[in-house]
Amino acid sequence: MDRKEEKMDAGDQLEMVAKAFVDHYYHLFDTSRAALASLYGHTSMLSFEGEKFIGADDIGRKLTQLPIGQCKHSASTIDCQPSAFAGGIIVFVSGNLQLLGEEHQLKFSQMFQLIPTQQGSFFVQNDIFRLNYG
């Protein structure tokens, strides 16, 4: 295998992991928000509309206490790159958020930094979420 094929394979693998993570994250958010805390660690940080939360417990509390009811996320774009942390992945998502009972969808952007665990999965080290207005 030449270097170009190796890079394509690594890029394809990153994209597969990023898409699987995004699908899993938004499925949990839309169906079982309390379960999201398990995706974060004690050093994780969430910036949600400018507010900062640190650690899985604090982040889980914020996400479960959001003043929104049932919703449905749909990702329009998923971009990913390897992060400087060995085996880490930066994932940037843009998409739409439909709140139950609301006519109009909200546009959002979200960035995740995924860090590999010793068990072979990933946890969210950094998460930045913003609604897109305008």
Q: What is the pLDDT of residues 15-52, one digit of tens each?
A: 999 999 999 999 999 999 999 999 999 999 999 999 99
* Predicted local distance difference test score (pLDDT) of residue 61: 97
Q: Residue 11 in 3-state DSSP?
A: helix
Phi, psi of 15 (to 5 degrees): -65, -40
Q: Give dist(CA 113, CA 106) in Å, integer.
A: 23
Q: The domain spanning residue 39 has which CATH number?
A: 3.10.450.50
Could you list the residue range(s) of the whole structural domain that residue 105 is in?
A: 3-132
Q: Give dist(CA 83, CA 115) in Å, integer.
A: 9
The domain tally of the chain equals 1
pTM of the model: 0.90
